[in-house]
Amino acid sequence: MIRLDDQVAIITGSGRGLGAAYARLLAERGARVVVHDAGVNKDGTGFDPNVAADAASRIREAGGVAFPSNVILDSRDNCQSLVETTLLKFGRLDILIHNAGWVAYQSVQELTPDFLQRAISINLEAPAWLAQAAFGIMKRQNYGRIVLTTSDRAIYQQYALSGLA
């Protein structure tokens, strides 16, 4: 079994679902994890700091090391802040998994600037700014892994729903 003892991982969107599974698995293998989740609603709005806190608490209860973060990844500065907080807490960063994402539906005719910007921020800008913030650290350490995930909805015809494009 691959061990990740003493490695530090940030997993965005890890308060629930696949992100939470990633965080648990990395912690079980010895990584210290930053459980990041702003606790937004399915429409991409809202904020619930308990989502990250509860997931981190479950990891600690199972014997792992976890620290919650609920910073909203809507700017370059906030992405940098997540990485800097990780360094302050754990002193290094070895793994970045950007799992947070947002899929919503709005037709081209109804598309609003706020809707489009929210989609661009979480799905395009956040992974770029997080990778930028992490890359220099990983380069100095001569080690690091960045994993950017995405939905597979566009691959399957049955998911080609009106308003998704």
The string of pLDDT tens digits covering residues 63-103 is 999 999 999 998 999 999 999 999 999 999 999 999 998 77
Q: Looking at the predicted structure, is the pLDDT value of residue 13 above 60?
A: yes
Mean per-residue pLDDT, 135-146: 97
The string of pLDDT tens digits covering residues 46-55 is 889 999 999 9
Domains of the chain (ranges, CATH numbers):
8-159 (3.40.50.720)
Considering the entire predicted model, what is its pTM? Answer: 0.89
User: What number of CA atoms fall less than 13 Å from residue 2's CA on the CB side?
Assistant: 6
Predicted confidence at residue 150, as pLDDT, reads 75
Alpha-carbon span 51 to 132, nearest angstrom: 26
The terminus-to-terminus CA distance of the chain in angstroms comes to 41
Alpha-carbon span 66 to 110, nearest angstrom: 41
